[in-house]
Structure 1
Amino acid sequence: MVFVALAVASGVYILLFYQDIVMRAGAPNTPDLIFGIIMVLLILEATRRATGWVLVIIAGAFLLYNFLGPYIPGLLGHKGYSIGRVISQMYLTTEGIFGVPLGVSANYIFLFIFLTSMLERLGMGDFLLRLAMALMGRFTGGPAKTAVLASGFMGSLNGSAVANVVGTGTFTIPLMKRNGYKPHFAGAVEACASSGGQLMPPIMGAAAFIIAEFLSIPYIEVVVAAIIPAALYYLCVLFGVHFEACRLGLTGLPKSELPSARKVLKEGWYFLVPLGVLVFFLAVLQYTPIRSGFYAIISMFIVSFATRESRISWERFRDGAIMAARNTITVALACAAAGLVIGSINLTGAGLKISSVIVAASGGTLWLALLLTALVALIMGMGLPTTAAYIVAGTMAAPALIDMGVLPLAAHLFVFYFAIISAITPPVALAAYAAAGIAKDEPMKIGITACKIGLAAFIVPFLFAGQPALIGVGDGWHIAWSTFTALIGVMALAGGCIGFVVRKALWWERTLLICGALLSLHPVVITDTIGLGMIVVALASNIMTGKKPVGKTGSEQFGSVGATGTKTVVDFSAG
């Protein structure tokens, strides 16, 4: 309660004395410094409680960097700043705590978190899960494809890979294990699908709003640019689970054990209305995210009265609002702590220095600069929330890529992608650790398998950074051709990584599939042609000499035999 009082006092102080603060800008008095120090310390402590020590250590290191500049040799050294100058930068300007990230959190992110939290409280998570099961359950490896589809939907809405794994994985991972998938593979599928949700339009978690704000572009431009890469990522995962199911001889579930898609849509169609309203106002009318989100929330309240079961009561509204506030805590504090990092970078000029270091270390070679930037984003993402990882890495590394000729949107999306997939990248793969507890297998094994399944996410960003056709930049023919060859490429990549298409692939077939995939993903006619030729040769060899394995029936491979010898089958038709 003491901390609450101090936090309120530090905020109210600015509200009450903002005119005096403006008049003496650059010359803080004693109360300015006292309340500023209190605010900084409170943010560090709150961030520790919400996200752990990693972000606190990074923010603390950058704060110390403001004072230790004179003692640092070389390019990263600077003249050093007084505590008054540092606190003024962090507390009394819009380049520190109250900067772009925290502003986006307050204006945009909370609005969408409130929308998704209310929808989840009304039962949207169960609706999406049943809809995914109805659409995908009957296909080969149906439970795994259900997990990919359902987790992709939910990940786009809630923006948290770990929360998504815990939420949907509690159901989908045991389902995949009963279906015949190995525990580590089931956990890896869920980790991949949950992490990639933030790549999936229309909401894309939280960092996409910050990208739009950093670049001063409409949010819909970020959404449109993310469509093709997100589709490639999820297709790679889907092909991976399909080929693994074929390798193990697994089939889909019988229709009698699945919910009816028509019935599911009839019972929960109103969940899709707010999302449709959001997309309509964002994409068609091109309203601001705030206004579009407001209309989506209004539509949610209206359509909730479609049925007695979905009607919003006071208890549901209260629980949804509390859930939204709790879900916002991590994002808001990550943005506030990231503001300390950005403030320090702006004050000391470290951003330009780090960009110069990246350019110098790469020798002016773009692919090497991209590789260094990817490593920075992955390292920052180990233990950090996605939003914070993107902000810190993007502030330091994206300017270097832009200076080397990469389009600004492509540069920021590049950092954004690697910040996201850090959740599945060992040794610290938070989504893999979350899935390990449910799958009951080793986190490292799950993380390595997840990287194999979601390999496209490590490749596609390099491609659109060099040739932005894959983010919708260029003429229609070039975009269409690049998308087509990339789709063939991710299919071949998945087959090569799993080692199975129609039959077990020979070593040279896997080599041709993987190499051909890499060439066809690169949006250049020559490489596309060579890559497609290699894929055709490998597929022809695999198809002509292979035989499809005889799979078990859905009930046989899905049911589990208990101690009494009685088979247990989950019946989804009952809802």
Structure 2
Amino acid sequence: SRFFIDLPLAIAGKSVGGPAKVAVIASGFFGSVSGSAIANTVSTGAFTIPMMKRAGFRPHVAGAIEPAASIGGMFMPPIMGAGGFLMAEMTEIPYVQIMKMAIFPALMYFLSVFVMIHFEAKRHGLYGVDDPDAPTAWQILRKEWFLAAPLVIIIVMMLMGRSAGFSAVVATASCVVVSWFTPDNRMGWRQVRDAMIEGGRNTLIIGATVGVIGIIVGTISLSGIGLKFSDIIISLSGGFLPVAILLIGIASLVLGMGVPVTAAYLITAVLTVGSVSRMIAMHHFGVPLSDMEIDRQLVQYVPWVMISSHMIVYWFSQDSNITPPVCVAAYAGAAIAGSDPWKTGWTSFKFAKFLYIGPFLFAYSQAFLLHGDILAIAMTWVTIALATVAFGSLTMGYLACGMNIVEWVIMAVATVILFFPGLVHAAGIAVPDLVIDVVGIALWGVVFAMQKARIRRDPTLTLPVHEQRKLQQTGA
């Protein structure tokens, strides 16, 4: 795990808000091979949270950033927690295909947290770690490149078509070989035995949990409760897809308060995927999913409909980690930071808000999940990346300086139309998506120009907020 800290520290440690950006990159690395947001928070947070506090981040902010970044690891291939493998099992879609489709949404989640950290640091005048003797990223890679070998092996083997189990076994065995390159961490027979015992214990816990979940899922399937629940969702939402997505989010949050996130995903998926996939199919293609499966022209869209439905549920299943009242990952971060758990939980919720944007993008944007022609995918990805930056600025209320209400509203409009150009079409305005994107970017530019004009009139607006307060008190 130290490698996952050292490399991000060399990449982003000296930038604005560097220690917090290190937490995001490190959580992305560690989370890609970890199956738990809490484990991710504790493992990387032990290094990054004290570093953030020393850099000037308030304790509850430092404790909140790490869990907000850590749940992104649950979306990041190749492991994706346990969700990707369960998704492949339930949809009968190859895991490699799911992994490819999940990469861009995961990157956008991390980008959103990264951008929010940048604007938080700009607002409070927080800068990076200035250590002239610190090694560069290239020096770390040249010295410790082999530590990334197990991760590379599992990705390459899965892309070659090997099963997840076989790839995991080979990658695990490679960890032993890799340890021999470092004398301090060299594994002998005793260490290998202890690791196997610990792995067996963890497997027993997982097996028992999955067994209990299997009973619940079987009961739901055989009794027909799942079909009835799907009908209830369609009825309550009035057939309106955004409302159905919100209902799934609420159900997942409530369920996640009492059961692990994997169990929450499985149970919610069994209950709701049928209804949401039906509604997505009707929204985009005007026919139920069952009709798409026998239509030669529409059958190619079936995997996207299935994965988008499951991704909606899977992303929402992570919200109990960072959403009060039961935000276990945020509480773990608060314990390390020594901050108020409740305040840390709500701050973590703020930094993780893209978690609630992603499900709507899954439902309305095929290119978001790598479906469509190359040009459409490329254009959509660029637009969503710009929208994600705008969303981070909007959430923190900061661009070149703090936003006033007019600037905030303009930025909100820019963010919404960049994320969801279909809303403009729904309003009866028949213009190409490219025109909508240009308008959204132009509105973003308007906000920036307005702020630059305010800064020219009052240069103190760019000062950290605590210095602005001092000036106001002095002036008073």
TM bucket (normalised to shorter chain) is 0.7 to 0.9
- Call closer, same or farther: CA 1:280–1:541 in 2, change over 3 Å: same
Choose from 160, 164, 179 the match for 2:36.
Answer: 160
Choose from 495, 514, 531 the match for 2:412.
Answer: 514
User: What is the CA–CA distance in structure 1 between the aligned matches of 2:386 and 2:415, rounded to whole Å?
Assistant: 7
CA apart distance, 1:422: 2.3
Contact 1:154 1:164 in 2 (8 A): yes
User: What is the CA–CA distance in structure 2 between the aligned matches of 1:257 and 1:144, rounded to whole Å?
Assistant: 20
Choose from 280, 301, 310 the match for 1:405.
Answer: 280
1:474 aligned onto 2:372: yes
Choose from 359, 364, 388 the match for 2:263.
Answer: 388
Kindly provide the amino acid, as one letter, of the partner of residue 248 in structure 1.
H
Q: After TM superposition, list the pairs within 5 Å mapping 1:80-99 onto structure 2.
A: none
Q: Which residue of 1 aligns with 2:193?
A: 318
Q: Which runs of 5+ in 2 are unaligned?
A: 282-304, 423-432, 465-476
3-state DSSP of counterpart to 2:401: coil
Q: After TM superposition, list the pairs within 5 Å mapping 1:243-392 onto structure 2.
A: 243-256=119-132, 258-283=134-159, 285-392=160-267
Kindly provide the amino acid, as one letter, of the partner of residue 449 in structure 2.
A
Q: After TM superposition, list the pairs within 5 Å mapping 1:559-574 onto structure 2.
A: none
Q: Which runs of 5+ in 1 are unaligned?
A: 1-124, 552-575
Q: Which residue of 2 aligns with 1:220?
A: 96
User: What is the CA–CA distance in structure 1 between the aligned matches of 2:44 and 2:361, rounded to whole Å?
Assistant: 31
Choose from 423, 431, 435 the match for 2:321.
Answer: 423
TM-score relative to the length of structure 2: 0.85
Contact 1:521 1:528 in 2 (8 A): no
User: What is the CA–CA distance in structure 1 between the aligned matches of 2:319 and 2:242, rounded to whole Å?
Assistant: 19
Q: Which residue of 1 aligns with 2:299?
A: none
TM-score relative to the length of structure 1: 0.71
Contact 2:176 2:192 in 1 (8 A): no
Contact 2:309 2:362 in 1 (8 A): no
User: What is the CA–CA distance in structure 2 between the aligned matches of 1:523 and 1:469, rounded to whole Å?
Assistant: 13
Q: After TM superposition, list the pairs within 5 Å mapping 1:520-535 onto structure 2.
A: 520-522=418-420, 524=422, 525=433, 527-535=436-444
Q: Which residue of 2 aligns with 1:170?
A: 46
Kindly provide the amino acid, as one letter, of the partner of residue 179 in structure 1.
A
Kindly provide the amino acid, as one letter, of the partner of residue 272 in structure 1.
A
Larger Rg: 1
Contact 1:493 1:517 in 2 (8 A): yes
3-state DSSP of counterpart to 1:151: helix
- Call closer, same or farther: CA 1:363–1:163 in 2, change over 3 Å: same
User: What is the CA–CA distance in structure 2 between the aligned matches of 1:403 and 1:550, rounded to whole Å?
Assistant: 52
Choose from 224, 235, 253 the match for 2:111.
Answer: 235
User: What is the CA–CA distance in structure 1 between the aligned matches of 2:462 and 2:128, rounded to whole Å?
Assistant: 14
CA apart distance, 1:371: 1.2
User: What is the CA–CA distance in structure 2 between the aligned matches of 1:245 and 1:521, rounded to whole Å?
Assistant: 25
Q: Which residue of 1 aligns with 2:362?
A: 464
Q: Which residue of 1 aligns with 2:472?
A: none
Kindly provide the amino acid, as one letter, of the partner of residue 352 in structure 1.
L
Deviations 1:280-337 (A, max 9, x none): 1212x22221222233234333333334334321232133223323443443332122
CA apart distance, 1:511: 2.1
Contact 2:221 2:270 in 1 (8 A): no
Identity of paired residues, percent? Answer: 37
CA apart distance, 1:425: 1.1
Contact 1:467 1:523 in 2 (8 A): no
Q: Which residue of 2 aligns with 1:541?
A: 450
Q: Which residue of 2 aligns with 1:493?
A: 391
Contact 2:60 2:339 in 1 (8 A): yes
Q: Which residue of 2 aligns with 1:15?
A: none
Contact 2:311 2:362 in 1 (8 A): no
3-state DSSP of counterpart to 1:158: coil
Kindly provide the amino acid, as one letter, of the partner of residue 338 in structure 1.
I
3-state DSSP of counterpart to 1:368: helix
User: What is the CA–CA distance in structure 2 between the aligned matches of 1:513 and 1:203, rounded to whole Å?
Assistant: 35
User: What is the CA–CA distance in structure 1 between the aligned matches of 2:250 and 2:256, rounded to whole Å?
Assistant: 10
